[in-house]
Amino acid sequence: EAGVAQSPRYKIIEKRQSVAFWCNPISGHATLYWYQQILGQGPKLLIQFQNNGVVDDSQLPKDRFSAERLKGVDSTLKIQPAKLEDSAVYLCASSLDHSSYEQYFGPGTRLTVT
Amino acid sequence: DQQVKQNSPSLSVQEGRISILNCDYTNSMFDYFLWYKKYPAEGPTFLISISSIKDKNEDGRFTVFLNKSAKHLSLHIVPSQPGDSAVYFCAASVRGTYKYIFGTGTRLKVLA
């Protein structure tokens, strides 16, 4: 079984630029999560999708972050414009459905904003 | 407001000995707890979980203990192996939300 795929693995941009991350969850997993992990901290949930609908985006900075999961499979997370404090690893995870406790994480995208 | 705390950022243990990783939480509504292991340049992988109706769960070399009165859980690894060297995160969830609050992680180094 293929795991959660993410790309790119690394990205360096200047502040005020835009960036997008892509995630392909495990086949058949209805629930998809985006987390932000700042160095020295644990992952923090940004947004949770159930199929193509948003379940929770309470911690997503909506003035600059957006995410979509149009066909209920792949998802993209965008930051526009980026700030220095957005430097972090962005992790995508998926689970069978929203009532599943076990989440499967991708390798993450390390973003550096200079 | 850090609801899930891992106060030891790092831990070193000799191969073959017991590793004990600790986690404290403040929210009494948490009812499900998980431990994840993370290797460098990889995403976290699920290790073991425990529901608040239990005080112990065992899976091979890994055992998680939950002390609800103290709002404390611990992960025991016996015997520790060099391949266990990784960062360990505990996470907690409030019943029915399936949202996780993660701790800051403990880096375990098992010395051969």
pLDDT digit string (tens) for B18-71? Answer: 999 999 999 999 999 999 999 998 999 999 999 999 999 999 999 999 999 999
Distance from the Cα of B3 to chain A's closest Cα (Å) equals 12
* Residue B2: per-residue pLDDT: 77
In this structure, which amino acid lies at residue B28?
Answer: S
Give residue A98's pLDDT. Answer: 74
Q: Which of A46-50, A83-87, B52-56, B95-99 bottoms out in mean pLDDT, i.e. has the lowest? A: B95-99
Higher pLDDT, A1 or A19: A19
CB A76 within 8 A of CB A23: yes
Beta carbons of B36 and B89 less than 8 angstroms apart: yes
Q: Is the peptide bond before A107 cis (omega within 30 degrees of 0)?
A: no
Which residues of chain A have a CB within 8 Å of the CB of B43? Answer: 4, 91, 93, 105-108
Indicate whether A19 pLDDT > 90.
yes
Residues of B in contact with A40 (CB under 8 A): 104
- Give the pLDDT mean for A81-108: 92
pLDDT for B102: 95
pLDDT tens digits for B3-23? 999 999 999 999 999 999 999
**DSSP 8-state class, residue A27:** T
Residue A64, min C-alpha distance to chain B (Å):
23
According to the model, what pLDDT value does residue A13 have?
A: 98
pLDDT of res. B1: 64
Residue of B nearest to A50 (CA): B98
Using CA of residue A22, residue A26, residue A32, residue A33, what is the dihedral sign? Answer: negative
pLDDT at A1: 64
**pLDDT for the residue numbered A10:** 97
Residue B29: how many other CB atoms lie within 10 Å? 13
Residue of A nearest to B31 (CA): A101
pLDDT at B99: 84
Measuring CA to CA, which residue among A92, A68, A62 is closest to residue A80?
A: A62
Q: Specify the pairing of strand B106-111 against strand B10-14.
A: parallel
pLDDT band of B87, cuts 50, 70, 90? very high
> Quick one: pLDDT at residue A84?
97
Work out whether strand B4-5 and strand A19-24 pair parallel, antiparallel, or are unpaired. Answer: unpaired
Cβ-in-10-Å burial (0-12, 13-18, 19+) of B65 comes to middle
The C-alpha atoms of residue A67 and residue A77 are separated, in whole angstroms, by 4
Residue B83, SS3 per DSSP:
helix
Q: How confident is the model at residue A72 (pLDDT cuts 50, 70, 90)?
A: confident
Q: Tokens for A46, please give them.
A: 């940004």
Higher pLDDT, B109 or A52: B109
Give the residue among B56, B44, B58, B55 at the shortest CA–CA distance from B91: B44
Q: Residue A58 contacts by C-beta under 8 Å, 6 or more apart in sequence?
A: none
